Amino acid sequence: MLTVEKIGGTSMSALGDVINNIILFERSGHKLYNRIFVVSAFSGVTNLLLEDKKTGAPGVYHQLANYKDFHKPLSNLITKLKQINKSYASLGLNVVEADQFIEKRILDAQAYLENLANILASGYVSKEGILQAAREILASIGESHSAFNFTNILQNMDINATLVDLSGFNDHHSYTIDQRIKHDLQHIDFQNTICIVTGYAKGTEGIMREFDRGYSEVTFSKIAVLVQPDEAIIHKEYHLCTADPVLVGVDNCHPVGNTNYDVADQLADVGMEAIHPKASKPLEINDINLRIKNTFEPEHPGTLITREYISNHKRVEVITGTDKLVMIDIYDPGMVGQVGSDLHIMQLFHKYSISYTFKATSANSISIVIWEKDFNKKLITELENAYEKVAVEKMAMVCLLGTNMDQPGLLAKSAAAFAENGINIKSAGFALRKVNIQFLVAREDFDASIIALNKAMA
């Protein structure tokens, strides 16, 4: 049974647990093999290289982008990564080899970055292209570091492990990402080795340019499509649960046993990614089943996501949402009866590359919900110049998701749960297939809304 498996950054940082719970759990001899592991950088490393994903705190990249000295941050990075190496000595990592590898890689990267900085300073070429190349170079370092360490530890445990560094750092062939993956994997005997592959893959199209920070799951997906495994697996530090256990309590939710790719897309649409949507689609199209497992509970089968799964019973499978949204309400009495009245509005959103997660209409108004991080004052100014009134309000969305929840009374039960807890529904909506019923509430009511719906659907 061939599997392609993805290990996230938080799990990678608990490398001892990864080895015991994933590599060795109920396996020995040749059962260890026939597995391809795509690894992320250790937790926090890509933040140091680029920027903090949550807070936006600048990393090495921003020194270069702002014409500042990036040599000291790179030197500090070497020190930090060597500290990480030292922490894995007890697992059998050859720290001297690991230190030599990462120091050489960063110094080689520094030479490339110096050339880019000189070209950037000349003013003769596009700044955007140069900076994108810098992001690619920096991003590749994190996965090369973690993959080298992981492979080294396994080899020192007398496990046949093969490092596949897709960063192509010293390979100047003009491969696309797919071509590089195929080239680097084509001669490997998967039945007799554990394959450790970098989540970053170098290609002419630029994986950061195409997918930004979701690139490691895209690499995972592309490898799965190439080798057609029996199953694709993502190891996370938590289960995909029916609701957030931090909010509702661990006794009031449970792992989702089965669902389908449609529900996975709905989860991604509200920021709760089981898998990056651009990574899930190729798996779905190629009919490759995906399993989400908890790294720290290896005995649990996790959540199986398939193309065709429909629950035998009408039920809500997941209650989730986000409190990081903004609603933009555009009002104009000229809309009533006007064919295509929202066309111009959508053109403005497209102009500013802003996607929406929810839209509701009335005779004279259109309400559009976007991510708060995408909010753009220039868009609002253009809307205000074109329409009579534009209002902006911070918002939260809570969702009922499921593969088979088209049941009478579900909306009534939800509305009653909100009413009983003094929560006002700002707006609501769902498509005909009813895989996602969405409720807009005040941001301060988000937690209470999740708890109320979870209790009502129990």
CB atoms within 10 A of CB 39: 32
The CA-based diameter of the chain, rounded to the nearest angstrom, is: 74
Pick the range with the lowest mean pLDDT from 112-116, 212-216, 239-243: 212-216
Same domain, 213 and 326: no
How many angstroms separate the CA atoms of 42 and 148, rounded? Answer: 12
Residue 46 belongs to domain with CATH number: 3.40.1160.10
The pTM is what? Answer: 0.91
Whether 93 maps to a domain, the answer reads yes
The answer to whether 320 and 272 have CB atoms below 8 angstroms apart is: yes
Same domain, 328 and 213: no
- Could you report the per-residue pLDDT of 128-182, keeping only the tens digit for each? 889 999 999 999 999 999 999 999 999 999 999 999 999 998 888 899 999 999 9
Using 50, 70 and 90 to split pLDDT, how confident is the model at 325? very high
Q: Is pLDDT larger for residue 334 or for residue 21?
A: 21
pLDDT at 175: 95
Whether 269 maps to a domain, the answer reads no
Same domain, 212 and 360: no
Whether 105 maps to a domain, the answer reads yes
- Tokens 């970053």 belong to residue: 200
From 434, 399, 402, select the one nearest 315 (Cα to Cα).
Answer: 402
Whether 285 maps to a domain, the answer reads no
Same domain, 219 and 346: no
- How large is the C-alpha radius of gyration of the chain? 24
Asked if the model's pLDDT at residue 264 lies above 80, the reply is: yes
Whether 438 maps to a domain, the answer reads yes
Among 181, 207, 237, give the residue marking a domain's end. Answer: 237
How many angstroms separate the CA atoms of 11 and 295, rounded? Answer: 7
Name the 3-class secondary structure at 170. Answer: coil
Among 218, 237, 256, give the residue marking a domain's end. Answer: 237
Residue 316, CA distances (Å) to 311, 332, 370, 447 in order: 10, 38, 25, 18
Burial (CB < 10 A; 0-12, 13-18, 19+), residue 92, is middle
Same domain, 98 and 200: yes
Among 237, 262, 289, give the residue marking a domain's end. Answer: 237
Same domain, 126 and 232: yes
Residue 453 belongs to domain with CATH number: 3.30.2130.10
Name the 3-class secondary structure at 35. Answer: strand
Range of the domain at 431: 318-457
Using 50, 70 and 90 to split pLDDT, how confident is the model at 211? confident
Same domain, 195 and 52: yes
Instruction: Give the chain's domain count.
Output: 2
Whether 408 maps to a domain, the answer reads yes
